[in-house]
A and B are shown apart, each in its own frame.
Chain A
Amino acid sequence: MKLVADGLAARRGNEMVFEGIGFALSAGQGMAVTGPNGAGKSTLLRVLAGFLRPAAGRATMVDAQGGVADIAAHAHFLSPLNAMKPALTVRENLAFWRAFGEARGATPEQALERVGLRHAIDVPFSDLSTGQRRRAAIARLFVNHRPVWLLDEPTSGLDARAEATFASIVADHLTGGGIVIAATHLPIDVPGMKKLRFTDGGDQ
């Protein structure tokens, strides 16, 4: 299973955000996308997830037999928004996403254990702090098995310890044969991650 992007370009209004982006990630490889605000990191992730149509080029999953599939069919998408309902408890939120998706993975208990939030399982999501909310959102990645993780500013709001935990979570996912693309303005500390750096001009 490989994620291949070829000659990707995206447009925002009449302006090109980036063009000529190409990379290939095979199972177990990760890539950190860095760059200043507005350089196009989030746009790249939204193009990869299929929310935005690229102005040129394409990005697809290619399996060992050369079959092509949408990235969206295999991907978790973690946006800066947490996609959790404030009125429901953390357990109810995670149980919903687990039941809604296929390839069920960890139970809410196990997933929260991974992010160190087991104690807050029956707390309404609205009562969590910013960092805890982010960790609960990260726990969602475990409740369904999807090989590709598209992460948009995954560590925003996390403290140093939670960031270290998150780095180990990403490293574990890569060891398990997953693919991770993370857009951050602070580099995450995972050995062996490829790097894609946007500058203000918009290119590598």
Chain B
Amino acid sequence: MIALIVRDVRLGVRAGGGALIGILFYLAVVTVAPFAMGPDLNLLARIGPAILWTGALLASLLGLERLFQIDHEDGALDLLVIARHETPLALTVFAKCVAHWLVTGLPLVLVTPLLGLLLNMDATAIGATALTLLVGTPAITFIGAAGAAVAVSLPRGGLLVSVIILPFTIPVLIFGVMATLGATETFAPFLQPFTFLAALTLFFAVLGPFAAALALKGLQD
């Protein structure tokens, strides 16, 4: 399982593209927003967390369809499935999700402080956004695994994956932005939405891989 994470991270870094495209897209969304909103700095600072979260969510959706597709195309997926008596398929999917998040999700979290500056956000708001993204974006990957597994045999399933999983990511988005708001405003609570966010990630960390494993097993029939 560790071997699979190491291999996928190595592939993600070496093959290039995947991680960088996500970051560039994130950057594009966030830099375009101020032009659309106008030069009101206070407004920008207030809705900054929402813009960052929306950008990160859409950027995470971008590379998801590649999660199983490459392994499907070169035959490796067959071997991962046949090895299910040694490594349960859900665990294999979990490992692939972890690797995928390390390559595509974590970089988004890391560039968030930089993008926060572009939106005139103060240090607390930037820190809170980065923290909630760190806790919340894995959930998007785990949900995405189920969608990617369903669409793996479709030649251009990218958009389909996004459409399938978008509704399930909405709660993550809501609690993520709510927790960030709670950290910066005195009237809103922080801990409740934040623990909900963490719970969502843990919940999908279990459900996503199991659902994806089920879809991958059924794929062949």
Contacts and interface: CB of A to CB of B under 8 A. Distances in A.
A81 B74 contact: yes
Interface in B44-61: none
Interface in A69-115: 70, 72-73, 75, 77, 79-88, 92, 95-97, 99-102
**Which interface class (under 10, 10 to 19, 20 to 34, 35 or more) fits B?**
20 to 34
Given A88-B7, A100-B83, A52 B221 contact: yes
B11 A83 contact: no
A86 B76 CA distance: 12
A194 interface: no
A9 interface: no
Interface in B150-187: none
A102 B79 contact: no
11 contacts: A51-B220, A73-B86, A75-B82, A81-B75, A83-B79, A85-B74, A87-B11, A87-B15, A96-B4, A99-B2, A100-B3
**Which interface class (under 10, 10 to 19, 20 to 34, 35 or more) fits A?**
20 to 34
Nearest to B86: A102
A49 interface: yes
Contacts of A49: 78, 82
Contacts of A197: none
B85 A87 contact: no
B81 interface: yes
B7 A84 contact: no
B19 to A, nearest CB: 14
Contacts of A75: 82
Top 5 A-B pairs, shortest CB-CB distance: A81-B75, A99-B3, A73-B85, A83-B75, A51-B220
B170 to A, nearest CB: 35
Nearest to B219: A51
A83 B15 contact: no
B73 to A, nearest CB: 8
Given A52-B221, A100-B4, A100-B83, A79 B10 contact: no
A50 interface: yes
B205 to A, nearest CB: 21
A50 B89 CA distance: 14
Contact of B220 (A52, A87, A95, A99): A52
Nearest to A72: B82
A38 B81 CA distance: 24
A195 interface: no
Contact of A77 (B6, B11, B79, B221): B79
Contacts of B78: 49, 51, 77, 79, 81, 83
B217 to A, nearest CB: 9
